[in-house]
Amino acid sequence: MAAGGARGHQFKVVLLGEGCVGKTSLVLRYCEDKFNDKHISTLQASFLTKKLNIAGKRVNLAIWVKNWVKELRKMLGSEVTLCIAGNKIDLEKQRNVPADEAEAYATSVGAKHFHTSAKLNKGVEEMFLDLTKRMLEKDSNSKPDATAKPGSTRRNIQITEDEPQEQKSGCC
């Protein structure tokens, strides 16, 4: 997931979640310090980058937004650094998941939980910085094969589509 060296560390970050929970808004807020109240739901993957300097180390993040959740840990195992964002804290009265339930879930999957609002710019920077620091720590603690080139580890992932669902009515 990471490659260190003369050009610095490079990490791939994937935001996963159900539709309309604010994944793209979090990325836009973090990478471009923008928020769009009229954002239309992201239908395909979106991609942005962010360059950081943490403790004198150059870090490039490639951030992807995806709508699939369940297969991540199964496919990538322990090499994934997870965090759970309880986004839209500005809409607390419309909360769907109780905070203690979100905390318990994060603990159960080995993730850290953050309360965020892309709209109010709350907790976004802290979440991405914590995630990046934990990825740097995991990367520096890993013991690569002496014969491997930095960043040469590859893993193939096969993604299979769900069976098409029968349309109930309407055009879509």
The CATH number of residue 67's host domain is 3.40.50.300
Task: Give 141's pLDDT tier (boundaries 50, 70, 90).
Answer: confident
Q: Is residue 100 part of a domain?
A: yes
Q: Which domain holds residue 8?
A: 2-136
| pLDDT for the residue 167 | 42
Q: Is residue 141 part of a domain?
A: no
Q: Is residue 27 part of a domain?
A: yes
Q: Which of the two residues, 79 and 135, has the higher pLDDT score?
A: 135
Strands of 57-66's sheet, edge to edge? 2-3, 9-16, 57-66, 46-54
- With a cut of 50, say whether residue 56 has pLDDT above it: yes
Q: Is residue 42 part of a domain?
A: yes
Q: Is residue 171 part of a domain?
A: no
Q: Which of the two residues, 119 and 163, has the higher pLDDT score?
A: 119
Number of domains in the chain: 1
Task: Give 111's pLDDT tier (boundaries 50, 70, 90).
Answer: confident
What is the pLDDT of the chain when averaged over all its residues? 78
Mean pLDDT of 117-128: 97
Q: Is residue 31 part of a domain?
A: yes
Q: Is residue 33 part of a domain?
A: yes
Q: Is residue 144 part of a domain?
A: no
